[in-house]
Structure 1
Amino acid sequence: MTTTDTGRVKAALPTSLTPARLGRLATLVAAGARAQRVATTSPFTGAPLADLPVSTPDDVEDAFARARAAQAAWAATPVADRKRIMLRFHDLVLQRQEEALDLMQAESGKTRRDAFLEVSDIAITARYYARSARRLLSPKRRKGAIPVLTHTTELHHPKGVVTVISPWNYPLSMAAGDAIPALMAGNAVVQKPDTQTALTALWALALMREADLPADVWQMVVGRGSSIGDALMAGADYMMFTGSTASGRRIARNAGERLIGASLELGGKNAMIVLADADIEKAAVGAVAACFPSAGQLCVSIERLYVADEIHDAFVTAFVERVRAVRLGGAYDFSVDMGSLTTPSQLETVSSHVDDAVSKGATVLAGGKARPDLGPLFYEPTILAHVTPQMTLFDRETFGPVVSIYRYRSVEEAVEMANATPYGLNASVWGRNTARARKVAGRLHAGTVNVNEAFAAAWGSIDAPMGGMGDSGLGRRHGADGLLKYTEAQTVAHQRLQGFTAPRGVGHEQWTQILTRAFKTLRTLGVR
């Protein structure tokens, strides 16, 4: 065995998740009274969990109609009033976090500590945009065409109705986290959370309405993309999608045809570089945190690990020791370190990637097998060495608790290998000389890079943009970009006294000379 047996007893559902409570959440789905139903199961045990109504394309169309009708009044609501609602939501999330933790674990199979990171994330996001929206949305004076004579103002108007399609792996962060800035910008939202984790998203919706958000301003539909995806695109004024690169490409094409904007956070094959001067013990602990949160089902988790030749063997020894000590299991408390995969298809992907690599010569340093003794979807945290380009997981995203480890001889080689991917979402660099580590970080092709941290430093820096390069997506969440992308920028320019047209009595040639002298003077004076 490579991991301890903690969690061998299968976890029963917490008493908070009563059929009545889950049923009340299900009623929030925008679906007809006679809708078909879909059942979900708990990853820890495979036992039935939820019974949800399935939305039809007509239900989606109706949701957009109600959202559009409500949006005008919401956009006219003062930002100060939106702020009060959002801060009340912030307080409710923290006060009722035990409910959210239970739901996230029951639906996704993650540990309680990973679930709490989502609670923290949403509290930070709600507080940031509640308190930043006025500044970001307020009219701003801009440099006019002619100093003093041109009065130019930049305005921001809400897009209208935003479609948010959120994934199963981080059901609170990705659902509420993308809706919050869209709502604060004055938009209505029609959202499709993944069916497997829809209860968590519906819980956030219930709390937002309890905080006094008008009911039709944020609505949720449930269903397969193949059934209601076209309706979600047809009604949208803007698309926010988190998911696979393949799906993101289709959404981008469709959004382009409709000439609407889209923000897409897609796949990743994220790299971590351990420099020769890194603290080996700290880097080994950091690597565990980087590779195995939510059983590796995290868009910004690390799947490739590059270690300097000088410390490679010592680091591998320390890393393997810590991975073998990971407490694997299902428990609705803080007693385990890594939980379950979420879906059978994800277990199949992880197993096939590891089996393919081993069959082609990879060495398993830790883990490497499923753990049905703990539950139907458990897989051990796994380290592979001697991974080559012929193996599927060399360059394809696994999205599970598997990391490949490589040695390098120079920083140039490490940067080249880390950048040898079409993806560019997240990266991590470890070293004692932090100025040097930051320089290496700046050379990596990734939207966020963390120094001496896995991913939380950049993700939690909510005032800074977060998103991917290359095949990892388009657009950014967080920071000013995370709110302003949901708006239409408008320039209002008021020209006073004299513009660029020659005044009466002045010939065009003479006026051209006058303007030329004026431009040269402005250049000399340093005017922008």
Structure 2
Amino acid sequence: MSEQTSIPADPELDPTASWATDQSVVRRLAGLLRATAGTRTTYAPATGQPVAELPLSSADDVVAAIRSARRTQRSWKGTSLADRAAILLRYHDLVLDHRHELVDLVILESGKARKQAFEEVAHVALTARYYARKATELLGPQRKLGMFPVLTRAEQRFVPKGVVGIISPWNYPLTMAMSDGLPAVLAGNAVVLKPDSQTPLTALRAVELLYEAGLPRDAWQVVNGDGPTVGGAIIQNVDYVCFTGSTKTGRLVARQAGERLIGASLELGGKNPMLVLRDADVHRAAEGAVRACFNSGGQLCVSMERLYVADQIYDAFVTAFLDRVKKLKVSAGTGWDVDMGSLISKAQLETVSRHVDDARDKGAVVLAGGKARPDLGPLFYEPTVLSGVTPEMVCFDNETFGPVVSLYRFSDESEAIERANEGEYGLNASVWTRDGRRGRAIAAQLVAGTVNVNEGYAATFGSIDTPMGGMRSSGLGRRQGVEGIRRYVDPQAIATQRVVPIAPSHGLSDQAYAEVMTTALRVLKKLGRA
């Protein structure tokens, strides 16, 4: 891809030359870990250079963290809802105040471009503010209809689960580490977090700011290590688990949680479709498709991997799309003008290469990209567009999780909807049209937990009042919105009966009581009572 540009790192913005790799900073952040089981060195994916040597947690460390979190949670749940919300509002400001540090860490540990790293800062701030402002509405006591008017007073309260375990991924090291836990602590729980072992510094700095905002230190603890050891110990000891990652691992988490009869929310894989309808603005759709497919190197659960384009505009769209793809600036640089950074690991690079090579070998046409770029860094791969992808190709219905998208024509919208709904996943989808009402009508027919009209993923991702999660093999439960906080509480019903019992009284026999009840139920129906 000779038209793509390699941008040299800006020394003023390069986190490898900043406070982020200052060993005194690393030691300070490492001190937040509960970890006694040796060390592990992390590496910057964009350069391959070492970042930090950090302590690892044992299963015993995890148990100790959960034990102390449970002790703190007993008092934390007694803190007023207003005081808890105030901590989240202070955190909102601290995250924005320290946005440059947080963005530097995200770039350093994940390899993504600065503009996409900032999305994480914005999302965490939005999440903190939303739940703080909505705290009373979402968690306050609620009056409910009693069995009998006046005689029965019914209400619902929300009891925190206890200790919530969060197992977060490397692809969104800031927002996935923090945005699930913020509503958990607001609801009166404590949190034990296991960030991905590739990206712990980002999570540690974000948690440090939460302590600065006023959260008791033991109410949110961080452990570090591999999934089987540390993640397994979390699932075996917490009261609720929140996992973001692959569908394969998600099934294992679900089985382990099910054996203990604890709740779990799982955001898993996707093979997300984008539909470009015949009346779409071609240039706007092409620009949106580039962001939807290649932001964060395509390493988003919600990124687009399948583009279905109407026959009437297919050629014009492909021309506009490829023109933009071939001009993307791919680089290890850290300035705002970089469009796409590195993949995260050798394993991810191998997966992307295998998917593209398999498709090419079986007859697919590579319209853009199609190869690794070791000249840019050890884990770079070009933004890649394929056509002619068929079911026997591995990338047809398997998640690539990289900068690869397949183009398909469609002749009518019912066909496009049917093809978009094929497969086992149902995480995110996108519809492009000049007619918003028509776009929403088509969106309602798609099997996906979120559907964006005239946007790829950011509209639902940034609308914190709406739930976000997957259908089918893309997961269980939801983050964001009312669902995103109610998952961390148990509803408790309290009903007070006045004057008469719900039983025979005043000398009524059981038979007479049944007749009185029958009459009362008929009257209540006529009065319109639920």
Shorter-chain TM-score above 0.5: yes
Q: Is the 8 A contact 1:423 1:471 kept in 2?
A: yes
1:12 CA drift (Å):
6.9
Q: Is the 8 A contact 2:436 2:453 kept in 1?
A: yes
Task: Say which of 22, 25, 47 aligns to 1:21.
Answer: 25
The match for 1:5 is: 5
Q: Indicate the RMSD between aligned Cα atoms, in angstroms.
A: 1.2
Task: Say which of 169, 178, 183 aligns to 2:180.
Answer: 178
Q: Is the 8 A contact 1:45 1:376 kept in 2?
A: yes
1:520 CA drift (Å):
1.7
1:100 CA drift (Å):
0.5
Q: What are the within-5 Å matches in structure 2 for residues 355-370 of structure 1?
A: 355-370=357-372
The match for 1:109 is: 111
Which ranges of structure 1 fall in alignment gaps of 5 or more residues? none
Q: What are the within-5 Å matches in structure 2 for residues 29-44 of structure 1?
A: 29-32=33-36, 35-44=37-46
Alignment partners' CA distance in 2, 1:504 and 1:518: 17
Task: Say which of 328, 346, 365 aligns to 2:330.
Answer: 328
Q: Is the 8 A contact 1:105 1:112 kept in 2?
A: yes
**Residue-by-residue CA offset, 1:167-199 (whole Å, 9 max, x unaligned):** 000000100111100110010111100011110
Question: Residue type of the partner of 1:450?
Answer: N
Alignment partners' CA distance in 1, 2:318 and 2:289: 11
Task: Say which of 306, 309, 324 aligns to 2:311.
Answer: 309
The match for 2:412 is: 410
**Paired residues, what number?**
526
Q: What are the within-5 Å matches in structure 2 for residues 188-267 of structure 1?
A: 188-267=190-269
Q: Is the 8 A contact 1:14 1:332 kept in 2?
A: no
Say yes or no: does 1:496 pair with 2:507. Answer: no
The match for 1:339 is: 341
The match for 1:132 is: 134
The match for 2:287 is: 285
The match for 1:482 is: 484
Alignment partners' CA distance in 2, 1:486 and 1:124: 19
Alignment partners' CA distance in 2, 1:494 and 1:161: 30
Alignment partners' CA distance in 2, 1:521 and 1:132: 38
Deviates more, 1:244-253 or 1:129-138: 129-138
Alignment partners' CA distance in 2, 1:290 and 1:334: 18
**Residue-by-residue CA offset, 1:345-370 (whole Å, 9 max, x unaligned):** 11111011000111111100111111
Question: Residue type of the partner of 1:316?
Answer: V
The match for 1:143 is: 145
Say yes or no: does 1:513 pair with 2:522. Answer: no
The match for 2:437 is: 435
Q: Secondary structure of the equivalent of 1:151? A: strand
Alignment partners' CA distance in 1, 2:516 and 2:58: 66
The match for 1:426 is: 428
Question: Residue type of the partner of 2:24?
Answer: A
Task: Say which of 154, 157, 163 aligns to 2:156.
Answer: 154
In structure 2, relative to structure 1, the CA distance for the partners of 1:2 and 1:296 (3 Å cut) is farther
The match for 2:453 is: 451
Alignment partners' CA distance in 2, 1:137 and 1:449: 27
In structure 2, relative to structure 1, the CA distance for the partners of 1:184 and 1:3 (3 Å cut) is farther
Q: Secondary structure of the equivalent of 2:122? A: helix
Deviates more, 1:162-171 or 1:224-233: 224-233
**Residue-by-residue CA offset, 1:381-427 (whole Å, 9 max, x unaligned):** 11000000000110000000000110111111000000002111110
**Residue-by-residue CA offset, 1:201-238 (whole Å, 9 max, x unaligned):** 00111111111211111001011112223311121100
Which ranges of structure 2 fall in alignment gaps of 5 or more residues? none
Alignment partners' CA distance in 1, 2:322 and 2:524: 64
The match for 1:167 is: 169
1:510 CA drift (Å):
2.7
1:90 CA drift (Å):
1.1
In structure 2, relative to structure 1, the CA distance for the partners of 1:495 and 1:12 (3 Å cut) is closer
**Residue-by-residue CA offset, 1:275-330 (whole Å, 9 max, x unaligned):** 11101111000100110110000111000110111111111111111101111111
TM-score (norm 2): 0.97
In structure 2, relative to structure 1, the CA distance for the partners of 1:510 and 1:12 (3 Å cut) is closer
In structure 2, relative to structure 1, the CA distance for the partners of 1:326 and 1:94 (3 Å cut) is same
Alignment partners' CA distance in 1, 2:291 and 2:143: 45
Alignment partners' CA distance in 2, 1:307 and 1:317: 12
Q: Is the 8 A contact 2:69 2:219 kept in 1?
A: yes
The match for 1:349 is: 351
TM-score (norm 1): 0.98
Q: Secondary structure of the equivalent of 2:236? A: helix
1:499 CA drift (Å):
3.6
1:504 CA drift (Å):
2.9
Alignment partners' CA distance in 1, 2:501 and 2:98: 59
Q: Is the 8 A contact 2:15 2:108 kept in 1?
A: no
Q: Is the 8 A contact 2:5 2:328 kept in 1?
A: no
Q: Secondary structure of the equivalent of 1:394? A: coil
Q: Secondary structure of the equivalent of 1:51? A: strand
1:61 CA drift (Å):
0.9
1:200 CA drift (Å):
0.3
Q: Is the 8 A contact 2:275 2:416 kept in 1?
A: yes
Alignment partners' CA distance in 2, 1:289 and 1:139: 42
Q: Is the 8 A contact 1:30 1:60 kept in 2?
A: yes
Alignment partners' CA distance in 2, 1:69 and 1:421: 45
Say yes or no: does 1:381 pair with 2:387. Answer: no
Alignment partners' CA distance in 2, 1:521 and 1:485: 37
Q: Percent identity?
A: 55
